[in-house]
Amino acid sequence: MSKTEAITVTSPLLPDLDEFNDLLKKIWDSKWVTNNGSFHKQLEQKLCEYLKVPFISLFTNGTLPLLTALQALRITGEVITTPYSFVATTHSIWWNGCKPVFVDIEESTCGINPDKIEAAITPHTTAIMPVHCYGKPCDMERIQAIADKYNLKVIYDAAHAFGVEVDGKSVLNHGDMATLSFHATKVYNTLEGGALVVHDAETKKRIDYLKNFGFAGETEVVGPGINSKMDEVRAAYGLLNLKHVDEAIKKRHQVAIRYREALRDVKGVRFFDDMPGVKHNYSYFPIFVNADEYGLSRDDLYFKLKEQDILGRRYFYPLISTFSPYKGFPSSAAENLPVATRIANEVICLPMHHGLSEEDLSRILDLIVR
């Protein structure tokens, strides 16, 4: 039997190569390749319109806006966050010299559980960093109410939440700042890339200084900045991809519908349905396997799929709180994180992208449905 092609968890949305070449020619002709060039300015403006946000600063990846947001807000001491995320979330806190404090998640969204936040607040707490995991909005109202009560800043890691809206409004406008990742594996990508969404022009100015070494002019440095600017090549690529992202999200939605129909009656396999009032981006399709009911453990199913070149991923296993830099913290104890610990042992993110065919989906589902 001939070997079938691997089906990966995701596949990047790529712009038309001829169109991209045309823009590359313009960059070559202009000889302006980075440092707030013309494509960079255009992409910032187009993204503000598309995402319905007032101000955005582009970055070279999705980790640096997290680092920069904490710097810009002068966060110190302890930051409450979720263990159920990509490790960059927690690393950004640690790199700012702050201590991450892990709080358990809600099963219904995989986001931080607001009921558990207050117990984790100490006199050293200065901020909360929740994650809209898989693009599913956190309980933003309750998180903000707690932040207001204790005078805490809120920085949303919205790496997965490109284009996600609740009641017609972007989730990116919540909290003090929100970050995005435009990595190749995301719904919308600029190869590598990211962004920070802020509410006012003054703050954007400050962020733009910080991402350019702190320079506020040729000879003045106003803060301990870093270099995290997006270059013209990626901004041009991003402008082209923005034209196709709606179509890609529609295709992802179709994939989600197909998965849900096929898995609805499979005992022991849970998945998310759409949330009322939410415009989803279908960035991931996690399933949660209950070994007793399904008859196979999550890892049994994961490796069964892998053997057949279906390369789902166990995002987010292991929990960040179990990694060596963080596992000694009191808040990392599994007893403090029962839901996250269980979910991390149940999850498989099935392949989810715009390029999946019916043949691919049948190949995947035939192995899961029993």
Residue 151 Cβ vs ligand T4K, minimum distance, rounded to whole Å: 25
Residue 133 Cβ vs ligand T4K, minimum distance, rounded to whole Å: 7
Residue 48 Cβ vs ligand T4K, minimum distance, rounded to whole Å: 20
> Which of 10/241 has CB closer to ligand T4K?
10
> Which of 179/203 has CB closer to ligand T4K?
179
> Which of 294/347 has CB closer to ligand T4K?
347
Residue 201 Cβ vs ligand T4K, minimum distance, rounded to whole Å: 25
- Nearest residue to ligand T4K, scored by beta-carbon proximity: 62
Residue 12 Cβ vs ligand T4K, minimum distance, rounded to whole Å: 5
> Which of 100/194 has CB closer to ligand T4K?
194
> Which of 114/193 has CB closer to ligand T4K?
193
Q: How many CB atoms lie within 10 A of CB 348?
A: 23
Residue 240 Cβ vs ligand T4K, minimum distance, rounded to whole Å: 17
Do residues 172 and 53 lie in contact, with contact meaning Cβ atoms separated by under 8 Å?
Answer: yes
Length of the chain measured in residues: 370
Q: Which of 352, 345, 348 is nearest to 83 (CA)?
A: 345
User: Distances from the Cα of 7 to the Cαs of 51, 276, 310, 346, 361, in angstroms?
Assistant: 30, 31, 5, 21, 9
The rounded distance, in Å, linking the Cα atoms of 101 and 107 is 19
> Which of 8/144 has CB closer to ligand T4K?
8
Binding site residues, ligand T4K, CB under 6 A: 8-12, 61-63, 85-86, 88-89, 131, 157, 159-160, 181, 183-185, 194, 311, 313, 315
> Which of 86/102 has CB closer to ligand T4K?
86
User: Distances from the Cα of 8 to the Cαs of 146, 256, 267, in angstroms?
Assistant: 40, 16, 25
Residue 87 Cβ vs ligand T4K, minimum distance, rounded to whole Å: 8
Beta-sheet pairing, 169-170 with 153-157: unpaired
Amino acid at 311: L
Q: How many CB atoms lie within 10 A of CB 253?
A: 14
